[in-house]
Amino acid sequence: MNKSKTKIINVDYLARVEGEGSLYLKIKDDKVQDIKFKIFEPPRFFEAFLRERHFSEVPDITARICGICPVAYQMGAVHAIENALGASLDNNLRELRRLIYCGEWIESHVLHVYMLHAPDFLGYQDAIQLAKDHPEVVNEGLRLKKIGNEIVTLLGGREIHPINVKVGGFYKLPTKKDFNSLLENLKWARTAAHSMIKLTSTLTYPDFEQDYEFVALRHPDEYPFNEGRIVSNKGLDIDVADFEKHFEEEQVEHSTSLHCKLKERGKYKVGPLARYALNFDKFSSEVQKAAKDAGLKEECYNPFKSIIIRSVETLHAVNEAIRIIENYVEPKKPYIEINPKESVGYGCTEAPRGICYHRYNLDSNGLVTNANIVPPTSQNQKSIESDLRELIPLIINLSDEEITWKCEQAIRNYDPCISCSCHFLKVSIDRE
């Protein structure tokens, strides 16, 4: 008989995620006793310093929550404020909002798939080492990522913290001619996105299906970006304005990020797997076929396969960008005039990592009196811990180094953005 053995695995600083986090595992007699996915990112108090700012300043401030997905924080802010002030944008402006989001999805998904997640599947420390053996793969990823950034730069002025997004529209509109070279690049990107799906479909996946409650936006006409109802595969179907009635944030001692849960049922999952399962019917037949050819069904419960779904969504975003550019009609005015009033408004958009909720209360001068922002990573924290709890018994006989790497990979399934949620990752394993 083996003696009772406790083992602690500590990953002090998790790599290839955005922000600072760590993982602590305590294993006794090959059973998991404690898991803490810790976020130690220093708090930055965005909701506090949004108070007393004018609504027109909000998208420039919220962008700074995250350097990877600033567009998401700008979109959530402008939609919530426009909702508060009763403004509705014409279809041409709305299409440009979708286009800049396509750019961010491409840039963020490709960064994660090629630079952050693929090295786990292929056994490399990072993409630069991967590039030594497979330069053509990494170069293709870098070129595709660059095209996503070109969309954001063209519409937003620059790729990180764009300056052209405004409550009511944009500061300046692109002309049809501005899109010429981008459109050529996007046609290459379409072929590259198909090869990205093929490549990710050939990776090796553990048999690891989980019973998730998926939560995503659903829109009657399109795969969701900026608008829709918040729905789940377990019966939730609510207006964005009712988010706080159904979800609550709780604070836990080991994290500077708040954990968000469904009041009735607890943990849930947002992001690519959730969007895909709840909106598969909204993909074009080309994207649906590419997903099926990659071996996916219309729903996927294996979080490791999120890398294939990010690739499928990249193809969708490329095609959507092509569609918007080909049909682009320059709006009459870059933005609509909006007058302040005492009000409250709600917005929820699909950031690359999942739904991101915003609420703003405004006074009669248009100053923010209260703000609430719920980023995707704080919603996924409970699911991340639960995945780890289920995964570890399956890999308990591996070495500590292998357990550590597998756990890191499982965390990276979520592409966690810790800078955002703080409102990163050390792993520690403690074995007895």
Contact residues for another protein, defined by CB under 8 A: 13-20, 41-49, 51, 53-54, 57, 60-61, 64-68, 70, 111, 115-116, 119, 125-129, 131, 135, 138-139, 142-143, 145-146, 149, 157-161, 163-164, 166, 171-172, 250-251, 253, 256, 258, 334, 405, 408, 419, 423-424
The span from the CA of 399 to the CA of 349, in Å, is 41
**Shortest separation between residue 366's beta carbon and another protein, angstroms:** 12
* Residue 97, both tokens: 């909002």
**Shortest separation between residue 53's beta carbon and another protein, angstroms:** 7
Q: Which is nearer to another protein, 150 or 213 (CB)?
A: 150
Q: Which is nearer to another protein, 334 or 340 (CB)?
A: 334
Whether the CB-CB separation of 378 and 421 falls below 8 Å is answered with: yes
Q: Which is nearer to another protein, 54 or 265 (CB)?
A: 54
The span from the CA of 277 to the CA of 408, in Å, is 25
**Shortest separation between residue 129's beta carbon and another protein, angstroms:** 8
Fill in the amino acid letter for 223: Y
Q: Which is nearer to another protein, 149 or 201 (CB)?
A: 149
Fill in the amino acid letter for 51: R
Q: Where are the alpha helices (DSSP H) in 19-113?
A: 46-49, 58-63, 70-84, 91-110
Q: Which is nearer to another protein, 72 or 300 (CB)?
A: 72
**Shortest separation between residue 199's beta carbon and another protein, angstroms:** 18
Select from 400, 428, 415 the least CA-distant residue to 12. 428
The span from the CA of 237 to the CA of 215, in Å, is 10
Q: Which is nearer to another protein, 287 or 429 (CB)?
A: 429
Q: Which is nearer to another protein, 38 or 194 (CB)?
A: 38
**Shortest separation between residue 408's beta carbon and another protein, angstroms:** 7
The span from the CA of 376 to the CA of 353, in Å, is 6
**Shortest separation between residue 65's beta carbon and another protein, angstroms:** 6
Host H or E run for residue 427: strand 426-431
Place of tokens 């180094």: 401
The span from the CA of 177 to the CA of 91, in Å, is 20
* Residue 391, both tokens: 């995964």
The span from the CA of 129 to the CA of 252, in Å, is 37
**Shortest separation between residue 98's beta carbon and another protein, angstroms:** 20
Q: Which is nearer to another protein, 50 or 262 (CB)?
A: 50
The span from the CA of 426 to the CA of 12, in Å, is 3
Q: Which is nearer to another protein, 149 or 319 (CB)?
A: 149
**Shortest separation between residue 354's beta carbon and another protein, angstroms:** 18
Q: CB under 8 Å to 202, separation ≥6 — which residues?
A: none
* Residue 358, both tokens: 């915003």
The span from the CA of 100 to the CA of 104, in Å, is 7
**Shortest separation between residue 118's beta carbon and another protein, angstroms:** 13
* Residue 207, both tokens: 């048999």
